[in-house]
């Protein structure tokens, strides 16, 4: 048993990051463990976690398990969790209640949790006390050890916990079962060293480790060969890509080399305003296959709060960058993340946030109420904004954000835009759905033949969250 340790998770040393190309090992006897058995993996959280879920599924299939769509049908249930806010935690604990019932009915099913919550010391302590029936727990650093962890849990019939609190290495040979045949996620870096005071990610995912460009480019070329149209380069802070490598190679170089593979669409998330260089902007404007879409988290419009958050920029420098982006990439859409109710946020600080939203008129924004995370500096600050005030602020902010989303979308009316058609709309299967280059959701009528294609669509109807259009050939 290896349990997580917050003090270790906080550490950053100059220890060299090892690139391990043979670390994922599947012994022959483990390959048959899942024969005739079904698995269900539920993933919460960000795209990084979704992508981890794709790795986990591929590993389980290497062990001969077959995927099913509901936990009721499954012999193995795994929750791939997120720790970013309290409600992410609550969802998982709620779901565990349901799994417990199933386990009581069918004691032979195997149940586990992994992901960011599993990296938290407090969560694992709770699991050991209150969720003794869970069979296994592993973290974000040892996904490649799943076959061994799972087999130990099955053989020993006792709770197997293996969560490493380490700065982390890079494992290059983990298989992947991609959710889409047309668009793919590619990790370009792991972890984060920014340590924004509210954020748990640096503790759950370790130090910043950039993947070597050769591995990334090889993955892009392979995906292109397989017919993929779109890739998204993933990292907690992609602009800082390469800073930890011992070669002189930065995000702008990676963007250029990926663009030169001629894959049709390149996206990247998430950008931190701190490391967004002019060179990066130039590369985005130079290559038409780098999509004009930038997610640029603001978090707050108050300099006092930004300082308390440890964001390393002011509202003035954020605005400067924003305006530069709009000037050099006029067609681009820019979205953001905003937190309200951070400790010490006064009405005036909140008005500063509204001000900047009024200036930037974001295409859309993800908005959150501050949620204290155990172990982060902000969790120790006095959480002095009353709950109902936080909710009021969120509501006011959302109203404004939605107004600008709608305004931004109205500009698309009657325009012709390229859309990568991904499949049928989940909401209404009469429609196909896809995204524009600027990441706007579009529903169109059409037949199967356009799925996986980038088609020109005339926008006929515009709403706050999506648009309707017709394919023009």
Site residues (CB under 6 A) for ligand 5AD?
84-85, 198-199, 297, 299, 337, 339, 368, 370-371, 373
**Smallest distance, ligand 5AD to C-beta of residue 368, A:** 4
The string over 92-123, giving b where at least 16 C-beta atoms fall within 10 Å of a residue's C-beta and e elsewhere, is beebbeebeeebeeeeebbbbbbbbbbbbbeb
Encoded one letter per residue, x for contact with ligand SF4 by CB under 6 A and - for no contact, window 182-201 reads ------------------xx
Please pick, from the candidates 55, 165, 204, 376, the single residue that binds ligand SF4 as defined by CB under 6 A: 204
Paired tokens of 438: 């600027």
The residue (of 76 and 199) whose beta carbon lies closer to ligand SF4 is: 199
Calpha distance 136→149 (Å, rounded): 7
Paired tokens of 226: 């397989």
**Smallest distance, ligand 5AD to C-beta of residue 242, A:** 22
DSSP symbol at 432: E
The residue (of 204 and 409) whose beta carbon lies closer to ligand 5AD is: 204
The residue (of 329 and 374) whose beta carbon lies closer to ligand 5AD is: 374
The residue (of 364 and 371) whose beta carbon lies closer to ligand SF4 is: 371
Q: What is the DSSP string of 95-120?
A: HHHHHHHHHHH-TT-EEEEEETGGG-
**Smallest distance, ligand 5AD to C-beta of residue 199, A:** 5
Please give, one letter per residue, the 3-state secondary structure of 246-278. CCCCCHHHHHHHHHHCCCCEEEEECCCHHHCCH
Residue whose pair of structure tokens reads 């990296």 in the numeric block = 119
Calpha distance 358→176 (Å, rounded): 42
C-beta separation of 299 from 314 below 8 A: no
Give the 3-state secondary structure of residue 90: helix
- Tell me how many helices (H) and strands (E) the chain has: 13, 21
**Smallest distance, ligand 5AD to C-beta of residue 84, A:** 5
The residue (of 379 and 441) whose beta carbon lies closer to ligand 5AD is: 379
Calpha distance 210→235 (Å, rounded): 9
**Smallest distance, ligand SF4 to C-beta of residue 423, A:** 24
| Binding of residue 234 to ligand SF4 (CB under 6 A) | no
Q: How many CB atoms lie within 10 A of CB 339?
A: 26
The residue (of 86 and 226) whose beta carbon lies closer to ligand 5AD is: 86
The residue (of 52 and 349) whose beta carbon lies closer to ligand SF4 is: 52
Q: What is the DSSP string of 18-31?
A: PEESS-----GGGT
**Smallest distance, ligand SF4 to C-beta of residue 280, A:** 22
The residue (of 86 and 448) whose beta carbon lies closer to ligand SF4 is: 86
Paired tokens of 188: 């370009």
- Listed ranges 42-50, 227-235, 287-295, 325-333: which one lies at the site for ligand SF4 (CB under 6 A): 42-50
The residue (of 77 and 233) whose beta carbon lies closer to ligand 5AD is: 233
The residue (of 83 and 400) whose beta carbon lies closer to ligand SF4 is: 83
| Binding of residue 45 to ligand SF4 (CB under 6 A) | yes
Handedness of CA 91, 94, 96, 99 (dihedral sign): negative
Beta bridge mates, 339: 368
Instruction: Report which of 386, 354, 347, 351 is spatially closest to residue 370, judged by C-alpha positions.
Output: 386
| Binding of residue 56 to ligand SF4 (CB under 6 A) | no
**Smallest distance, ligand SF4 to C-beta of residue 70, A:** 22
Which of ligand 5AD, ligand SF4, none sits in contact with 293, Cβ below 5 to 8 A by type?
none
Please pick, from the candidates 33, 48, 110, 420, the single residue that binds ligand SF4 as defined by CB under 6 A: 48
C-beta separation of 308 from 381 below 8 A: yes
**Smallest distance, ligand SF4 to C-beta of residue 47, A:** 8
Q: Measured at CB, which residue is nearest to ligand 5AD?
A: 337
Which of ligand SF4, ligand 5AD, none sits in contact with 370, Cβ below 5 to 8 A by type?
ligand 5AD
Calpha distance 166→437 (Å, rounded): 38
For residue 298, CA distances in Å to 78, 155, 183, 316 come to 34, 49, 27, 11
Please pick, from the candidates 116, 223, 305, 338, the single residue that binds ligand SF4 as defined by CB under 6 A: 116
The residue (of 5 and 47) whose beta carbon lies closer to ligand 5AD is: 47
Which of ligand 5AD, ligand SF4, none sits in contact with 191, Cβ below 5 to 8 A by type?
none
**Smallest distance, ligand 5AD to C-beta of residue 198, A:** 4
Residue numbers at the binding site for ligand SF4 (CB under 6 A) = 45-46, 48-49, 82-84, 115-116, 200-201, 204-205
């Amino acid at each position: 048993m290896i349990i997580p340790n917050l003090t270790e998770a906080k550490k950053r040393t100059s220890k060299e990051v090892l690139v391990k190309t043979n670390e994922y090992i599947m012994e022959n006897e483990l390959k048959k463990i899942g024969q005739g058995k079904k698995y269900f993996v539920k993933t919460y959280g960000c795209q990084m976690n979704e992508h981890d879920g794709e790795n986990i599924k591929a590993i389980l299939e290497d062990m001969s398990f077959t995927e099913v769509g509901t936990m009721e049908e499954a012999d193995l249930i795994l929750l791939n969790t997120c720790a970013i806010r309290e409600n992410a935690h609550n969802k998982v604990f709620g779901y565990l209640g349901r799994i417990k019932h199933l386990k009581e009915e069918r004691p032979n099913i195997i149940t586990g949790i992994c992901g960011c919550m599993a990296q938290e010391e407090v969560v694992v302590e709770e699991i050991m006390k209150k969720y003794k029936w869970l069979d296994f727990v592993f973290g974000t650093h040892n996904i490649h050890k799943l076959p061994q962890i799972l087999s130990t849990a099955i053989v020993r019939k006792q709770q197997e916990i293996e969560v490493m609190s380490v700065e982390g290495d890079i494992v290059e040979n983990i298989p992947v079962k991609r959710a889409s045949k047309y668009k793919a996620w590619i990790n370009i870096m792991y972890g984060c060293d920014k340590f924004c005071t509210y954020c748990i990610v640096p503790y759950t995912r370790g130090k910043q480790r950039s993947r070597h460009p050769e591995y990334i480019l090889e993955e892009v070329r392979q995906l292109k060969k397989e017919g993929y149209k779109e890739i998204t380069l993933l990292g907690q802070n992609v602009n800082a890509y390469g800073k930890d490598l011992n070669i002189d190679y930065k995000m702008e170089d990676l963007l250029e080399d990926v663009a030169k593979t001629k894959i049709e669409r390149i996206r990247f998330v998430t950008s931190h305003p701190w490391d967004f260089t002019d060179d990066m902007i130039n590369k985005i404007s130079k290559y038409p296959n780098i999509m004009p879409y930038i997610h640029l988290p603001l978090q707050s419009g108050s300099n006092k709060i930004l300082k308390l958050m440890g964001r390393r920029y002011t509202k003035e420098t954020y605005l400067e960058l924003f305006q530069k982006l709009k000037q050099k990439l006029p067609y681009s859409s820019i979205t953001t993340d905003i937190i309200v109710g951070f400790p010490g946020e006064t009405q005036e600080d909140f008005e500063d946030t509204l001000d900047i939203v009024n200036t930037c008129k974001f295409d859309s924004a993800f908005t959150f109420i501050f949620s204290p995370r155990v172990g982060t500096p902000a969790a120790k600050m006095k959480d002095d904004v009353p709950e109902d005030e936080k909710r009021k602020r969120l509501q006011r902010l959302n109203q404004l954000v939605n107004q600008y989303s709608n305004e931004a979308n109205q500009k698309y009316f009657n325009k012709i835009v390229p859309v990568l058609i991904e499949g049928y709309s989940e909401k209404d299967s009469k429609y196909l759905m896809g995204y524009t280059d600027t990441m706007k959701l579009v529903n169109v009528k059409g037949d199967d033949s356009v799925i996986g294609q980038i088609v020109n669509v005339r926008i006929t109807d515009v709403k706050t969250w999506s648009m309707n259009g017709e394919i023009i050939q």
